[in-house]
Amino acid sequence: MNPVRNSPPQGPSGAPSAGAISNGVKHFLHIADHSAEELSELLTSAVALKKEWKKGGNKPILEGKVLGMLFEKPSLRTRVSFDMAMRHLGGDALYLSPAEVGLGKREATSDVARVLSRYVQGIMLRTFAHQNVLDIAKYASIPVINGLSDYNHPCQALADALTILEHKGTLKGLKLAFIGDGNNVTTSLAHLSAKLGMDFAVASPKGYELPADVVKGSGVALAGNPAEAVKNADVVYTDTWTSMGDEAEADRRKKEFGAYQVNSELLKKAQKDAIVMHCLPAHRGEEITDAVMDGPQSVVFDQAENRMHAQKAILAKLLAQ
Q: Which is nearer to ligand CP, 71 or 139 (CB)?
A: 71
Contacts of residue 125, Cβ cutoff 8 Å, sequence gap at least 6: 69, 70, 132, 133, 136, 144, 145, 146, 147
Using Cβ positions, the residue closest to ligand NVA within the complex turns out to be 243
Q: Does residue number 279 form part of the binding site for ligand CP (CB under 6 A)?
A: yes
Number of residues that bind ligand NVA (CB under 6 A): 9
User: In the sheet that 221-222 helps form, which strands lie side by side, from edge to edge?
Assistant: 221-222, 199-203, 175-179, 235-238, 275-278
Q: Which of residues 136-165 bind ligand CP (CB under 6 A)?
A: 148, 156
**Chain center to CA of 63:** 26
Task: Report, in Å, the least distance between residue 14 CB and ligand CP.
Answer: 26
In angstroms, the CA 45 to CA 39 distance is: 10
Coil vs helix vs strand at 10? coil
- The answer to the question of whether 284 is labelled as a binding residue is no
C-alpha to C-alpha distances, 317 to 17, 134, 172, 310, nearest whole angstrom:
19, 20, 24, 11
- The answer to the question of whether 10 is labelled as a binding residue is no
Is the peptide bond prior to 8 cis by the omega test (within 30 degrees of 0)?
no
Q: Which of 152, 240, 289, 311 binds ligand NVA (CB under 6 A)?
A: 240
Query: Of 2-10, 53-61, 277-285, 291-299, which part binds ligand CP (CB under 6 A)?
Result: 277-285
Is the CB of residue 191 less than 8 Å from the CB of residue 157?
yes
- The answer to the question of whether 279 is labelled as a binding residue is yes
C-alpha to C-alpha distances, 260 to 57, 238, 275, 276, nearest whole angstrom:
42, 9, 17, 15
Q: Which of 243, 261, 298, 303 binds ligand NVA (CB under 6 A)?
A: 243
Q: Does residue number 183 form part of the binding site for ligand NVA (CB under 6 A)?
A: yes
In angstroms, the CA 40 to CA 180 distance is: 28
Q: Does residue number 235 form part of the binding site for ligand CP (CB under 6 A)?
A: no
Query: If contact means CB under 5 to 8 A according to the sort of partner, which of ligand NVA, ligand CP, none does residue 239 touch?
Result: ligand NVA
Query: Of 83-91, 115-123, 128-136, 177-185, which part binds ligand NVA (CB under 6 A)?
Result: 177-185
- The answer to the question of whether 251 is labelled as a binding residue is no
Q: Does residue number 278 form part of the binding site for ligand CP (CB under 6 A)?
A: no
Q: Does residue number 306 form part of the binding site for ligand NVA (CB under 6 A)?
A: no
| Residues β-bridged to residue 317 | none
Q: Does residue number 309 form part of the binding site for ligand CP (CB under 6 A)?
A: no
- The answer to the question of whether 67 is labelled as a binding residue is no
Q: Is 97 exposed, middle or buried (0-12, 13-18, 19+ CB in 10 A)?
A: exposed
Structure letter (DSSP) for residue 13 = T
- Contact mark string toward ligand CP, 56..85, x via CB under 6 A: -------------------xxxx-------
Task: Report, in Å, the least distance between residue 305 CB and ligand NVA.
Answer: 15
In angstroms, the CA 188 to CA 305 distance is: 19
- The type of residue at 45 is S
Return the active site residues: 126, 153, 156, 239, 279, 307
- The answer to the question of whether 243 is labelled as a binding residue is yes
Q: Which of 17, 127, 146, 184 binds ligand NVA (CB under 6 A)?
A: 184
Q: Which is nearer to ligand CP, 127 or 156 (CB)?
A: 156
Contacts of residue 134, Cβ cutoff 8 Å, sequence gap at least 6: 9, 11, 16, 17, 18, 29
Structure letter (DSSP) for residue 32 = G
User: Where on the chain is the footprint of ligand CP (CB under 6 A)?
Assistant: 75-78, 148, 156, 279-281
User: Where on the chain is the footprint of ligand NVA (CB under 6 A)?
Assistant: 148, 183-185, 239-240, 243-244, 279
Q: Which residues are annotated as a binding site?
A: 126, 153-156, 184, 239, 243-244, 279-280, 307
